[in-house]
Amino acid sequence: MAALGATPLTLQPERLESRLHQPPRPNIVLIMADDFPRAALHAYGLPRRFDVAPNLMSLYHSSNGVAMSEGYTTSSLCTPSRLAFMTGRYASENLLDAQPFRCCTRDLREQTTLHRVLKGAGFFTGYFGKFHMVDDEPGVDPLNTLKMFGHKLPSACDGDLEDMFRMDCVNSVVKQLIGADQVESVYLDNEVLDERYHHPEEEAEKAVQFVRTAPMPFFLHMNPTLTHEPKDYTAALFEEPTTIQWGPRKAIRGSVTRGKPMDPQWLQSRLDARRLLRQKLRLKQGRVARCSREDHPCIGQESLRWPATIAAEIASNNAWPADILWQSGLGSYSHMEILAGAAWLDATLGRVFAEVRNRSGNNTLTIFTADHGNCKTGKGAPYSGGARVPLLLHWPMYAPPDSRLRMRHIDWLPTLASLAGASVPEGLSGVDRAAALWPTAFPFSPEKDDEAAFEGKHPLILENGFSRAVVSGQWKLVLNLLSPSEQAKAQKEATKAQVEASKGCFSFYGQMVGVNQLTYAGPSLYPHYCDSAQLYDLRHDPSEQRNVYLDHPRTTERLTKVLWDRGCGTAQSSCRWLKQHLTQRSPNSSRIAATQHPVHPTHLTLTADAT
């Protein structure tokens, strides 16, 4: 197979006129937070008196800054979301097998990536933080997966186990995979995201050094591990260990290695930063409890208190955007934890933003987003709490975009390619939206369709395992495409107790609900999660609580046709899988809703020219 990364970056004739008026190429700062909910930012509805993220909100409040209301990931899990952003293609197009979760993702060395495109356009590119784009079977060594597909590990990975898991090994591997100029402080996957080896301050410092020294124009791609880890932000902020080992606590081959001790200078700066943040958040320390980590004191959850009046208001339903739900029974503590995590992330970004202002001035495009929503708000499902992401944009040289324009993760590669002066590579599912976002920068561009026309040509398609969803105007169709044979397989693999506990409900990941943790809070937040066909009127039901599938058969059929025509990107294997499963849908596979009304999917036998 020809290497996708070898696509020539030649000008397309229809863009020649606009290229004659190409705006000055900006430095680009892209920050993709992990599991970050929009609800933690007052730009998305949180009352401003609860603002704990002044550095991020400075982008929003600055001249020509904007908070986009229609930012979407196309898959609300870490690996598929990050792959889609990096490649400009749907997650299903990045699989070696069209069957969801049948291992593994394509070798990124063979693909067009965001870094290769910008590097080819003359940008100096840097990648920092979480990677998680080598997908494999649970418990399998990601480095062994790479070797299985012919990847020769760099020399930094030679040597004994103590050396195998140094950061320079992983950094070298990722540099080869994505084609970046500089890669540092990378976490290959979630296995090493234990708090003892979780250093957001160090990640940010590496980014500061990059901005300070990189040749211009530069592309800073920062991927903070906050707010995925640690699980209890406030407890972690009180931890003051005297030494920390730098590197994974558990080697991915199963052997334990301590890695290298953190430099005392790094340790002190880390402690100083967290003390300041504790003061800012007015966190108080109660009793000290011993946690399960060896010789590592931490604070008992019940001992952490925010001021009571603030806690009560934060926990109230009025403090969160209308389309954001929280897993029931969390209580005020977990709501405050979300804000504590956002505050911690924001504190680490302050120096990065300051260095960017000092070094590159007004011609810098800063993008802040997330891979997907939080695990407490709908991660792992195609609902708004997981699929909609924060999207803050700031480019001081030009008027801010219309906040209502839709941006999918897959659109950023072609859009940034356009801003970099490169031609948009062929074979992408994403679309160049540079002229639509910044029309004053592209005054002669012919590509300024109205938003309705854009959405008609490029509908919002959401992928999560066996599910597909499409959003068109006020309507959203969600289908669980698990076939009868796949349902039977899921039941066979579950225990009797699991089958009974699931009440006949299948997750979007080919298992009974409760068997796989990838469901997260979805089944408890969305009452129709178990319905195989769901239709929502987002204008009147933004939190997706009422399935009106039976009431609007024509809308359902129209959106199913959209999925058939446009729901699989450019990869033929994923198109075959999608169309086969749409055709196999049967009324007998539908679950009876709690209202005792059958939720039967329309039984369509579609062909390529179906109407």
Residue 180 and residue 84 share a domain: yes
Residue 416 and residue 293 share a domain: yes
pLDDT value at position 375? Answer: 85
43-69: per-residue pLDDT in tens? 998 878 788 899 999 999 998 999 999
Domain termination residue (choose one: 428, 456, 484): 456
Query: Is residue 39 in a domain?
Result: yes
Please classify residue 18 by burial: count the beta carbons closer than 10 Å to its beta carbon, then call 0-12 exposed, 13-18 middle and 19+ buried. middle
Residue 379 and residue 507 share a domain: no
pLDDT averaged over every residue in the chain = 79
Domain termination residue (choose one: 404, 422, 456): 456
- What DSSP string runs through 181-227? SEEEEEE-SGGG--GGG--HHHHHHHHHHHHHHSPSSEEEEEE--TT
Residue 506 and residue 409 share a domain: no
Residue 500 and residue 450 share a domain: no
User: 7: helix, coil or strand?
Assistant: coil
Query: What are the C-alpha distances in Å from 494 to residues 103, 135, 139, 464, 487?
Result: 21, 24, 20, 21, 11
Q: Which amino acid is at 488?
A: A
Asked if residue 206 lies in contact with residue 128, where contact means CB atoms within 8 angstroms, the answer is yes
Domain termination residue (choose one: 417, 432, 456): 456
92-108: per-residue pLDDT in tens? 888 766 666 655 677 78
Looking only at the bridges linking them, the beta strands covering 406-408 and 391-394 are unpaired
Task: State the DSSP H helix or E strand holding residue 29, giving kind and residue range, or none if neither.
Answer: strand 27-33
Least confident of 184-188, 245-249, 334-338, 506-510: 245-249
Residue 164 and residue 38 share a domain: yes
Torsion over CA: 208, 209, 212, 217 (sign): negative
Query: Is residue 7 in a domain?
Result: no
3-40: per-residue pLDDT in tens? 444 444 444 444 444 455 678 899 999 999 999 988 88
353-383: per-residue pLDDT in tens? 999 999 988 899 999 999 999 888 889 999 9
Nearest CA among 470, 464, 602 for reference residue 536? 470
Query: Is residue 12 in a domain?
Result: no
Instruction: Specify the number of domains making up the chain.
Output: 2
pLDDT value at position 423? Answer: 85
CA angle 357–359–363, rounded 5-degree value: 65
Residue 588: pLDDT over 90: no
Residue 207 and residue 165 share a domain: yes
Query: Is residue 1 in a domain?
Result: no
Nearest CA among 509, 511, 513, 404 for reference residue 455? 404
Asked if residue 286 lies in contact with residue 273, where contact means CB atoms within 8 angstroms, the answer is no
Query: Is residue 605 in a domain?
Result: no
Residue 337 and residue 260 share a domain: yes
Query: What are the C-alpha distances in Å from 349 to residues 201, 234, 236?
Result: 9, 18, 18
Residue 375 and residue 341 share a domain: yes
Asked if residue 124 lies in contact with residue 27, where contact means CB atoms within 8 angstroms, the answer is no
Residue 323: pLDDT over 90: no
Could you tell me the residue range of the domain that residue 557 belongs to? 465-589
Query: Is residue 482 in a domain?
Result: yes
Euclidean distance between the first and the last CA atom of the chain, given in angstroms as a whole number = 35
pLDDT value at position 472? Answer: 92
Residue 557 and residue 436 share a domain: no
Residue 495 and residue 401 share a domain: no
Nearest CA among 566, 508, 531 for reference residue 387? 508
231-273: per-residue pLDDT in tens? 678 778 887 776 665 554 444 444 444 556 666 777 788 888 8
Residue 526: pLDDT over 60: yes
Residue 359 and residue 505 share a domain: no
Residue 372's CATH number? 3.40.720.10
Query: Is residue 124 in a domain?
Result: yes
- Going by pLDDT thresholds of 50, 70 and 90, the confidence category of residue 409 is very high
Report the C-alpha dihedral over residues 191, 33, 120, 189, rounded to 10 degrees: 0
Query: Is residue 57 in a domain?
Result: yes
61-95: per-residue pLDDT in tens? 998 999 999 999 999 999 899 999 999 999 888 87
108-123: per-residue pLDDT in tens? 888 899 999 999 999 9
Q: What are phi and psi of 298, to 5 degrees?
A: -145, 180
